[in-house]
Amino acid sequence: MNLDMSKLELLLGTVVNELGAASNGALVILGDKLGLFRALAEAPATPDELATKTGTHERYVREWLCAQAASRFVDYDWETGKFSMSPEQAAVFAIEDSPVFMLGGFNVMSAVYSDEPKLAEAFKTGKGIHWDEHCNCLSCGIARFFEPGYRANLIGEWLPALDGVIAKLQRGAKVADVGCGHGISTQLMAKAFPNSEFIGIDYHEGSIAHASERVNGEKNIRFEVAKAQDFAGGDFDLVTMFDALHDMGDPVGAVAHIRKALKKDGTLMLVEPAAGDSLADNLNPVGRVYYAGSTHICVPTALNQDVGLALGAQAGAKRIGDVVRDGGFSRFRKAAATPFNMILEARP
């Protein structure tokens, strides 16, 4: 075996980083669960001080802090022997309502590792994996991962990017949030536009139950268990789908049903993972995360359904546009974008 040592060294360096990231991911989840990040974000601390503050054992905390410092997730002061978190580190790991809070993504990682045997079997059979078959912490992790972005962008940036939608919502509109999951997007809109009526729809009963529990006195919101291809009702001014269309086995059927349920001047808003239209466009850190998540979650979910088209999380705007036009819409455009999402608008 003839090996190019320079290439081998680069590859091994990448693999060592990957092993460190995969191993430390479990410690990040632990730090979140035990309140270590939150406590450290309040003030610098030695391992003993942080352990006392969080009711944990100093020796474990010391090793945990060293692992986080090696990952650059916390800082270490050699003179004082104290660990600390910068404002940026705290925004990512400790402040739940920060727009860049990322711990929900680590919760998802816990679920996908737990589900690996099921995914291995699906690879052999070609069958899908129903949402109910995943580790029960997956849906909570997904909701927690997407919530910061929705809170930061939905009301102030994404909805205003749509043609005439804000004025309708302010006057009073009828809205269906299809594939709503835990209902975070639905509730954000309902709170912002009290004159409008919002119906959150999802085929997963557990998610709808959780969404219903989140309602906090709002009278203009309700949740229903139904599929995107056959949910009840019509004359909607706006239908939204947040990170959901690419998970559906029959996305064309879903779009076609939405087209029938919309008013003639209605709008379909699609929030999809950021993606270019080719593999080459997506060979970057964001594409890497989404391709992996798509393999774990999106493709198995789609293949479990009736048609199983399995667009995947990196379908891209062109492919999504084809689906939307096949479903009966004539106008389609990218209205806005973030590093993680593209906001697509379809009109009859």
Residue labelled with tokens 């990017």: 161
Mean of per-residue pLDDT scores for the chain: 95
Q: Calculate mean pLDDT across residues 90-104.
A: 96
Pairing state between β 82-84 and 75-77: antiparallel
Residue 7 has pLDDT above 90, yes or no: yes
* pLDDT tens profile 171-227: 999 999 999 999 999 999 999 999 999 999 999 999 999 999 988 888 999 999 999
Q: Which amino acid is at 64?
A: W
* pLDDT tens profile 19-43: 999 999 999 999 999 999 999 999 9
Q: Calculate mean pLDDT across residues 150-174.
A: 97
* pLDDT tens profile 271-322: 999 999 999 999 999 999 999 999 999 999 999 987 778 999 999 999 999 9
137 pLDDT band, cuts 50/70/90, is confident
Say whether 248 sits in a helix, a strand or coil: coil
- Percent of the chain exceeding pLDDT 90 equals 94
**How large is the greatest C-alpha to C-alpha distance in the chain, in angstroms?**
72
End-to-end CA, the chain = 60
132 pLDDT band, cuts 50/70/90, is confident
Rounded Cα–Cα distance for residues 172 and 198 (Å): 10
Backbone angles phi, psi at 20, to 5 degrees: -65, -40
Contact 180, 211 (CB under 8 A): yes
Give the global pTM. 0.92
The residue among 347, 337, 339 whose CA lies nearest residue 158 is: 337
Q: Which amino acid is at 237?
A: D
Say whether 221 sits in a helix, a strand or coil: strand
Which residues are CB-contacts of 2 (< 8 A; sequence separation ≥ 6)? Answer: none
The residue among 309, 347, 308 whose CA lies nearest residue 328 is: 347
Q: Which amino acid is at 57?
A: H
Q: Which domains does the chain have, with CATH numbers?
A: 17-95 (1.10.10.10), 149-347 (3.40.50.150)
